């Protein structure tokens, strides 16, 4: 028996070793990007895989200035905050009402709201640009943020709606009988109880909006004042595609916020992604 | 979806008159609180969608004030035109099939390893997940750098012949490079989904299976896999839909090249509309693409449902 256990333990150690090597190889491209962003141009050209001999942050100083990093960063924050706040507020309220008042109108409204989950964005992006230009929602960060409401609402309502029946109706009925308005009941009783599912939706939507490429490309690509980080990295890398030290630095600066947030909130993010995929 | 009919209030105490006033106010409220969502979805999705249906029947360069109505001309053009759309569809189909198989097989294998009692398993899980949180555009650029500069250097060091191949320049090889990068970026997502599935299998079932002499692959295919059917369905469906829509990584990695060999359907739609300025033809292409995605999604859902009924 002890031999079986020993063999099993050896097997686990071997597996662990294999997995660690695999993980190192897997993550190596990201590591390579980091080390090259810390090298002067000459070192990148002479050998891309060597570790930097003289670590320099000059690339960062230059690129932050050249790509207007702080402006772009704040654009991203504005777009993401407007987008996510709106999606959460509108979807949670709508899902609550749709769940609690079952009638012909709410059934139809629910179907109309969630059906777009089946329509890929690329199938209507051509005319979307026209419609958004007419609606004055193209070409500005706040306009783009509002557009995300429309694109984010279907999945958010779907997830909230399916979660709503875990909240006992007695909770809101007693508040309503005590004279609280529907909105008040929602705000002070229902919404706080939706915390876990709200976290899930926030995680999914922040990741999506922060890294989105195609919609910003169509809507806000014109000026630095409205561009997003990813969009700007795309043009920047295109422009500096022979000066890899700058390109690498721009890429690091673009993904750094995501990596830092991921390391800080790992557990929430992974749980959110899993919950979102299973419910969505 | 199961609808449970429910009456909002038990209003036996209320007189009929109060009741009507109250229910009218309730109805107004119901509409008021759901209308913003409906209006937004209508404005950003339904209206453009319907309009692209209309524009697919016109010739329109986006600049001319009035699109010219040409009936089904654009759809005929798709069939007899230069074949670029067909080529993009074939590429997308091949890309989707290979990616789906690679993603699910790899993710399942990694997940099985990462639910074992390894000391470093939490760190390992995070490592495999990290590429998924990065922008796909940047992922494309990272790999462009590695395929061009990195491989050169490694070839000098090791002399392995495969490092000296033109992974982004050769019409045949580039397909595998594009699939590889897509898998590298997304596999961590499917790993965490499969891990969640594997962890939900009750321990006593596994123990019973081992007692009955199930080991290794038999155990995996006879016990583990059937127990996580719902995870498999989710992963297969999501990997299919996401692969069909592939855009960012390819744009950053190859821009559709070399010689147009890596144009995906979405990239082709984008090119037709925003580079060739054929908004009408582009709209026709996008509607055909929509129908294909919808049909495949429903097909996969139905196939799995029948399967589950059979079990």
B225: in domain = yes
A109, two tokens: 């409204």
Contact A30 B142 (CB under 8 A): yes
B190: in domain = yes
Torsion angle, CA of A24/A30/A31/A33, rounded to 10 degrees? 150
Distance CA B133, CA A208 (A): 9
Contact A33 B44 (CB under 8 A): no
Whether B40 has its CB under 8 Å from any CB of chain A: the answer is yes
Whether B48 has its CB under 8 Å from any CB of chain A: the answer is yes
Contact B245 A182 (CB under 8 A): no
Residues B41 and B186 in one domain: no
B164: in domain = no
**Best CA proximity match to B141, nearest among B251, B247, B265:** B251
Contact B36 A90 (CB under 8 A): yes
B219: in domain = yes
Contact A16 B118 (CB under 8 A): yes
Interface size, chain A vs chain B, as Cβ–Cβ contacts under 8 Å: 256
Choose, out of A34, A88, A93, A124, the residue to mutate when testing the contact with B (most B CBs < 10 Å). Answer: A124
**Which pLDDT belongs to residue A107?**
93
Each residue of B180-231: pLDDT tens digit?
999 999 999 999 999 999 998 888 888 888 888 877 788 888 888 888 988 9
A68-279: in CATH 2.60.40.10: no
Please name the member of B26, B118, B135 whose beta carbon is closest to the beta carbon of A255: B135
Non-local (6+) Cβ contacts of A245 within 8 A are A36, A37, A39, A40, A41, A44, A59
Distance CA B296, CA B294 (A): 5
Distance CA B301, CA B311 (A): 16
Helices (H), chain A: 2-37, 41-46, 58-66, 69-100, 104-114, 125-134, 141-164, 169-177, 182-185, 191-193, 195-211, 214-219, 229-239, 244-279
pTM of the predicted model, to two decimals? 0.89
Each residue of B57-116: pLDDT tens digit?
998 876 667 788 888 888 988 888 778 899 999 999 999 999 999 999 999 999 999 999
Residues B29 and B132 in one domain: no
Chain A residue numbers touching B265 (CB-CB < 8 A)? 122
Contact A277 B119 (CB under 8 A): no
Contact (CB, 8 A) for A149 and A83: yes
For chain B, what is the domain count? 2
Please name the member of B44, B145, B293 whose beta carbon is closest to the beta carbon of A128: B44
B156: in domain = no
Each residue of B20-66: pLDDT tens digit?
777 788 888 899 999 999 999 999 999 999 999 999 999 887 666 77
Q: What is the length of chain B?
A: 311
Residues B41 and B128 in one domain: no
Q: Quick check: bond before B280 cis, omega within 30?
A: no
Task: Find residue B269's DSSP bridge partners.
Answer: none
Residues B85 and B22 in one domain: no
CATH assignment at residue B135: 1.10.3720.10
Whether B8 has its CB under 8 Å from any CB of chain A: the answer is yes
**Which pLDDT belongs to residue B153?**
86
**Judging by beta carbons within 10 Å of its beta carbon (0-12, 13-18, 19+), is residue B45 exposed, middle or buried?**
buried
Whether B100 has its CB under 8 Å from any CB of chain A: the answer is no
Residues B241 and B294 in one domain: yes
Contact A274 B49 (CB under 8 A): no
**Which pLDDT belongs to residue B10?**
43
Domain-by-domain residue ranges, chain A? 2-61, 68-279
Report the gap between the CA of A24 and the closest CA in chain B (Å).
Answer: 8
Each residue of B282-301: pLDDT tens digit?
999 999 999 999 999 999 98
B100: in domain = yes
Residues B39 and B117 in one domain: no
Contact A230 B135 (CB under 8 A): yes
**Which pLDDT belongs to residue B7?**
40
B274: in domain = yes
B60: in domain = no
Whole domain around residue B21: which residue ranges? 11-50
> Mean pLDDT by 10-residue block, N- to C-terminus, for chain A (280 residues)?
79 93 95 93 86 90 93 95 97 95 91 92 91 93 96 95 89 84 90 92 92 94 89 88 88 92 87 79
Residues B20 and B128 in one domain: no
- Rounded to a whole number of angstroms, the CA Rg of chain A reads 24
Residues B83 and B192 in one domain: yes
Contact A94 B289 (CB under 8 A): no
Contact A47 B153 (CB under 8 A): yes
**Which pLDDT belongs to residue B12?**
44
Residues B41 and B79 in one domain: no
Report the gap between the CA of A128 and the closest CA in chain B (Å).
Answer: 5
Other C-beta atoms lying within 10 Å of the C-beta of residue A38: 21
**Which pLDDT belongs to residue B11?**
43
Report the gap between the CA of B288 and the closest CA in chain A (Å).
Answer: 9
Whether B273 has its CB under 8 Å from any CB of chain A: the answer is yes
Residues B104 and B30 in one domain: no
**Which pLDDT belongs to residue B15?**
53
Residues B299 and B197 in one domain: yes
Secondary structure (3-state) at B68: strand
Report the gap between the CA of B192 and the closest CA in chain A (Å).
Answer: 7
Mean pLDDT of chain B: 87
Contact (CB, 8 A) for B56 and B287: yes
Report the gap between the CA of A139 and the closest CA in chain B (Å).
Answer: 15
Contact B279 A126 (CB under 8 A): yes
Residues B18 and B120 in one domain: no
Other C-beta atoms lying within 10 Å of the C-beta of residue A219: 25
Whether B63 has its CB under 8 Å from any CB of chain A: the answer is no
Contact A120 B289 (CB under 8 A): yes
């Amino acid at each position: 028996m002890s031999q079986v256990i020993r063999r099993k333990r050896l097997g686990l150690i071997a597996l662990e070793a294999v997995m660690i090597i695999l993980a190192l190889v897997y993550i190596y491209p990201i590591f390579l990007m980091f080390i090259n962003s810390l090298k002067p141009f000459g070192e990148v050209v002479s050998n891309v895989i060597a570790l930097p001999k003289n670590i320099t942050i000059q690339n960062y100083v230059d690129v932050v200035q050249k790509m207007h990093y702080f402006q772009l960063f704040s654009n991203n924050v504005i777009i993401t905050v407007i987008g996510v706040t709106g999606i959460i507020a509108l979807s949670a309220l709508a899902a609550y009402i749709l769940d609690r008042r079952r009638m012909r109108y709410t059934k139809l409204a629910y179907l109309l709201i969630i059906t777009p989950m089946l329509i890929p964005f690329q199938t209507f992006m051509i005319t979307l640009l026209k419609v958004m230009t007419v609606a004055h929602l193209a070409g500005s960060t706040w306009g783009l943020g509002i557009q995300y409401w429309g694109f984010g609402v279907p999945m958010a309502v779907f997830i909230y709606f399916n979660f709503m029946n875990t909240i006992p109706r007695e909770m809101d009925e007693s508040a309503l009988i005590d004279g609280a308005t529907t909105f008040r009941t929602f705000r002070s009783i229902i919404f706080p109880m939706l915390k876990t599912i709200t976290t899930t939706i926030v995680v999914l939507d922040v990741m999506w909006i922060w890294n989105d490429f195609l919609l910003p490309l169509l809507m806000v690509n014109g000026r630095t004042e409205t561009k997003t980080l990813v969009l700007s990295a795309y043009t920047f890398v295109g422009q500096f595609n022979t000066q890899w030290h700058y390109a690498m630095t721009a890429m690091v600066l673009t993904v750094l916020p995501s990596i830092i947030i991921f390391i800080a909130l790992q557990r929430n993010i992974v749980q959110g992604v899993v919950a979102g995929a299973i419910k969505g | 979806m199961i609808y449970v009919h429910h009456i909002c209030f038990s209003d036996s105490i209320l007189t009929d008159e109060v009741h009507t006033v109250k229910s009218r106010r309730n109805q107004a409220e119901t509409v008021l609180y759901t209308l913003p969502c409906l209006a937004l979805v209508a404005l950003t999705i339904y209206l453009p969608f319907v309009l692209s249906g209309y524009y697919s029947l016109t010739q329109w360069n986006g600049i001319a004030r009035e699109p010219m109505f040409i009936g089904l001309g654009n759809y005929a053009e798709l069939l007899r035109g230069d074949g670029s759309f067909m080529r993009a569809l074939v590429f997308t189909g091949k890309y989707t099939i290979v990616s789906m198989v690679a993603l699910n097989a790899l993710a399942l294998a990694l997940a099985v390893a990462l639910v074992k009692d390894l000391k470093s398993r939490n760190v390992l899980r995070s490592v495999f997940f990290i590429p998924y949180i990065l922008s796909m555009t940047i992922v494309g650029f990272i790999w462009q750098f590695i395929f061009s500069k990195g491989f050169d250097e490694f070839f000098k060091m090791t002399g392995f012949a495969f490092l000296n191949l033109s992974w982004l320049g050769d019409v045949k090889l580039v397909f595998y490079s594009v699939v590889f990068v897509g898998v590298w970026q997304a596999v961590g997502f499917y790993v965490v989904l499969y891990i969640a599935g594997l962890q939900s299998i009750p321990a006593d079932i596994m123990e019973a299976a081992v007692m009955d002499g199930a080991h290794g692959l038999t155990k995996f295919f006879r016990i583990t896999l059937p127990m996580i059917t719902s995870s498999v369905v989710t992963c297969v469906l999501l990997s299919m839909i996401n692969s069909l829509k592939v855009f960012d990584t390819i744009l950053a990695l190859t821009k559709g090249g070399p010689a147009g060999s890596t144009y995906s359907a979405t990239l082709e739609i984008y090119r037709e509309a925003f580079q060739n300025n054929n908004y009408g033809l582009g709209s026709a292409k996008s509607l055909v693409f929509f129908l294909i995605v919808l049909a495949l999604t429903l097909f996969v859902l139905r196939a799995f449902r029948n399967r589950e009924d059979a079990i």
